[in-house]
């Protein structure tokens, strides 16, 4: 059954049931549609189980549960449940077989949800889907009692959601042959992981990674096929089994087998975790870290867009690493690294350290992965945002981590005139990319553009598309900084991988 717009309660028949949504203006929304069985009880730490319930009636007028995570005023516990594998769809009534954009939320793989303003992109004649996936210890857990073969249950959820989209999106007016995944931070890291995963091959046809990481050290399980690169402190990579055992130990529960672990209350598992969650190189869903896979030409040969912000290091205080130890390790590796950050050092060594952290975690990843698309004959586009809204002028040393998500989803409605203009520009670029595999749009549009307006691929120019209101960071300075970060990344890779 195709989309029925007969009234303000549009209906779509899906494999999960008859979804009854709501319509606001030209956009119909369908929220909280389950795409897999509830991963509770004996299904905790199991691959998601597909379900077919065509006779079920789904009230899709409200968001579903979000996955268990730390409590906040915006996310009280009453909104959480392990029964959280649901998705939301926004679609316009303008044409059939529209391009599909699948949002993967950020939150350090420990927080966040699919509750976004999807309608602002759906108004650009695309179908928008937002997925929940298991977080924290529920989504990434390699305890010895868990048999595998993989331990990235959150990524398996995303793959199951993409399969659901292939099966059902046509009924919402979407084209299953034009699916673009996009996300920010951990969501963009998931994009990079899916780009490098054979298990996800063919389920999407374009990828956008906003402030994602693919060159950052991951946890490694006993099932990893190689020893792996050094961690950030240039030591042996962190063991996923040890991480899982420590989480269980902090719950105060005694786990004697898998069944006893599955009985631990969800809140205790959430509270037992410290810091962000890292995905796991498990030899299955994640065969190797994305940076290594991309350099080997093992990624999907599809259009790829990536980038980040000028001051990504604002995220550093949230990460579980001692800033002073981080700087000491860098000083031992390259005592001349401060030369690339002279302007920041003149203001504050702490500022320079945070800038370095953000560059190493996010911007280096965007550059390395975009460059590596040449290995599979693909094209990539890079963006760099060095913009501050007028209300934030003088408060930060550049665009903070997460600003690009605000610009994309909210600034056109909630921001000042300059931010709104940039917001609308990004929406056109992003939706063009989903529709045509190129942020400039279709060929006729590109040929009519002036050279100054065009956003050419990295393979054509070797440059980042810059969105600025002051050009505080020059192209030469950015290139110098990332060369410093790349040298340490290559040393980390050589330390263990090539000697395994």
pLDDT on residue 496: 58
> How sure is the predictor about 320, in pLDDT bands with cuts at 50, 70 and 90?
confident
**pTM more than 0.85:** yes
Position 195 pLDDT exceeds 50: yes
Q: What is the CATH number of the domain that holds 102?
A: 3.40.50.1820
Give a three-class secondary structure readout of the chain: CCCECCCCCCEEEECCEEEECEEECCEEEEEEEECCCCCCHHHCCCCCCCCCCCCCEEECCCCCCECCCCCECCECHHHECCCCCEEEEEEECCCCCEEEEEEECCCCCCCCCCCCCCHHHHCCCCEEEEECCCCHHHHECCCCCCCCCCCEHHHHHHHHHHHHHHHHHHHHCEEEEEEEEEEECHHHHHHHHHHCCHHHCCCCCEEEEECCCCCCCCEECCCCCCCCCCCCCCCCCCEHHHHHHHHHHHHCCCCCCHHHHHCCCHHHHHHCCCCCCCCEECCCCCCCCHHHHHHCCCCCCCCEEEEEECEHHHHHHHCCCCHHHHHHHHHHHCCCHHHHHHHHHHHCHHHHHHHHHHHHHHHHHHHHHHHHHHHHCCCEEEEEEECCCHHHCCCCCCCECCHHHHHHHCHHHHCCHHHHHHHHHHHHHHHHHHHHCCCCCCHHHHHHCCCCCCCCCHHHHCCCEEEECCCCCCHHHHHHHHHHHHHHHHHHHHHHHHHC
Indicate whether 432 belongs to any domain: no
Indicate whether 429 belongs to any domain: no
Higher pLDDT, 121 or 472: 121
Position 449 pLDDT exceeds 80: no
Position 262 pLDDT exceeds 50: yes
Indicate whether 43 belongs to any domain: yes
Share of the chain above pLDDT 70, in %: 94
Indicate whether 1 belongs to any domain: no
Average of per-residue pLDDT across 339-368: 96
Q: Which residue segment(s) compose the domain that 360 sits in? A: 11-415+449-499
Indicate whether 253 belongs to any domain: yes
The number of folded domains in the chain is: 1
> How sure is the predictor about 314, in pLDDT bands with cuts at 50, 70 and 90?
very high
> How sure is the predictor about 3, in pLDDT bands with cuts at 50, 70 and 90?
low
Indicate whether 442 belongs to any domain: no
Position 455 pLDDT exceeds 70: yes
Indicate whether 441 belongs to any domain: no
- Model confidence over 56-115: pLDDT tens digits? 999 999 999 999 999 998 899 999 999 999 999 999 975 679 999 999 999 999 999 999
Which segment of 137-151, 247-261, 443-457 scores lowest on mean pLDDT? 443-457
Indicate whether 2 belongs to any domain: no
């Amino acid at each position: 059954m195709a989309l029925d717009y007969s009234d303000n309660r549009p209906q779509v028949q899906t494999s999960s049931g008859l979804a009854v949504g709501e319509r606001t203006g030209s956009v119909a929304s369908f929220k909280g549609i389950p795409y897999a069985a509830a991963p509770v009880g004996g299904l905790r730490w199991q691959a998601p189980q597909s379900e077919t319930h065509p006779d079920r009636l789904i009230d899709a007028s409200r968001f579903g549960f979000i996955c268990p995570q730390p409590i906040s005023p915006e996310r009280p516990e009453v909104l959480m449940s392990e029964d959280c594998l649901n998705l939301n769809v926004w679609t316009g009534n303008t044409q059939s077989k529209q391009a599909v954009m699948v949002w993967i939320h950020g939150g350090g793989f420990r927080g966040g949800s699919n509750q976004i303003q999807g309608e602002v992109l759906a108004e650009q004649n695309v179908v928008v889907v937002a997925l929940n996936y298991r977080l924290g210890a529920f989504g990434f857990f390699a305890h010895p009692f868990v048999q595998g073969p993989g331990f990235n249950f959150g990524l398996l959820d995303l793959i199951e959601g993409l399969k659901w989209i292939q099966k059902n999106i046509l009924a919402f007016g979407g084209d299953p042959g034009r699916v673009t995944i996009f996300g920010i931070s951990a969501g963009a890291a998931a994009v990079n992981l899916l780009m490098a995963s054979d298990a996800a091959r063919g389920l999407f046809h374009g990828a956008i990674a906003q402030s994602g990481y693919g060159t950052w050290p991951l946890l490694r399980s006993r099932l990893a096929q190689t020893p792996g690169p050094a961690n950030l402190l240039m030591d042996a990579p962190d063991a996923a089994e040890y991480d899982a055992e420590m989480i269980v130990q902090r719950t105060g529960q005694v786990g004697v087998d898998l069944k006893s672990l599955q009985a631990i209350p969800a809140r205790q598992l959430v509270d037992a975790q410290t810091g962000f969650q890292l995905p796991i190189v498990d030899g299955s869903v994640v065969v190797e870290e994305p940076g290594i896979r991309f350099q080997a030409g093992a990624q999907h040969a599809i259009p790829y867009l990536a980038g980040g912000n000028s001051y990504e290091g604002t995220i550093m205080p949230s990460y579980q690493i001692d800033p002073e130890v981080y700087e000491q390790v860098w000083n031992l590796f390259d005592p001349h690294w401060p030369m690339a950050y002279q302007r920041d050092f003149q203001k504050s060594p702490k500022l320079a350290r945070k800038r370095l952290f953000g560059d190493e975690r996010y911007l280096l990843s965007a550059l390395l992965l975009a460059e590596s698309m040449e290995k599979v004959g693909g094209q990539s586009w890079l963006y760099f945002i060095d913009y501050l809204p007028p209300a934030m002028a003088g408060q930060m040393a550049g665009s903070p981590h997460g600003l690009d998500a605000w610009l994309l989803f909210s600034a056109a409605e909630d921001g000042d005139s300059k931010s709104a203009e940039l917001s609308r520009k990004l929406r056109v670029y992003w939706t063009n990319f989903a529709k045509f595999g190129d942020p400039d749009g279709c060929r006729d549009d590109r040929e009519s553009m002036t050279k100054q307006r065009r956003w050419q691929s990295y393979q054509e120019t070797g440059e980042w598309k810059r969105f600025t209101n002051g050009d505080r960071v020059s192209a030469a300075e950015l290139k110098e900084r990332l060369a410093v970060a790349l040298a340490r990344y290559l040393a980390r890779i050589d330390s263990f991988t090539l000697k395994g």
